Amino acid sequence: MSINRIFAAASVIVFCTGCASGLNSHQEAELKYFEARGQAVEEKNPGLGAALGLLPGGGSFYGREYGLGVVNLLFWPLSILWDPVSGHDASQSINYQATKAHLHSQHERELDGLDEQLQTGQIDITQYTLSKRKVDQKYRYN
């Protein structure tokens, strides 16, 4: 392997590790909390993303990182060193974003239902306040 090729491969590794940053510690804790409560949405399987990372660009393509997937495809089999991590981290990020969006949508739907019940006189302001507090607590990350 020539020096230029080694340098290029090292540059790609450094570049790719920045692209596959995954979730920060707060987001990881939040996702685990949602998983424990049965609220997590799994659009992508992180284990499958990691396994597909052994194929040329597979983990990145699975994790919707298409540009990185092309780079990993070009540098395969060297990309086996980082693409499984990229696939896993991208899958977790997708699941985190999907979970947050789903929970936000459910929260808004429940609040809209309470607002409608208050406006139509089905509940009074005291019941509304208590119910709203329960809904807010249900969708809050502790």
Distance of CA 112 to the CA centre of its chain: 27
pLDDT at residue 7 above 80? no
| Domain annotation covers residue 88 | yes
| Domain annotation covers residue 118 | no
| Domain annotation covers residue 132 | no
pLDDT at residue 127 above 70? yes
| Domain annotation covers residue 41 | yes
pLDDT for position 139: 85
What's the rounded Cα separation, in Å, for the pair 126 and 83? 54
pLDDT at residue 95 above 60? yes
Q: What is the mean pLDDT of residues 30-45?
A: 92
| Domain annotation covers residue 120 | no
Lowest average pLDDT, out of 4-8, 72-76, 125-129, goes to 4-8
| Domain annotation covers residue 110 | no
77 cis-preceded (ω within 30 degrees of 0)? yes
pLDDT for position 76: 87
| Domain annotation covers residue 123 | no
Q: Which domain holds residue 65?
A: 3-101
pLDDT for position 4: 62
| Domain annotation covers residue 108 | no
- Provide the terminal-to-terminal Cα distance of the chain, rounded to the nearest Å: 52
pLDDT for position 18: 45
pLDDT for position 140: 82
Query: What share of residues in the chain are helix, strand, coil (percent, to 5)?
Result: 75, 0, 25
- What total number of domains does the chain contain? 1
pLDDT confidence bin for 103, thresholds 50/70/90: very high
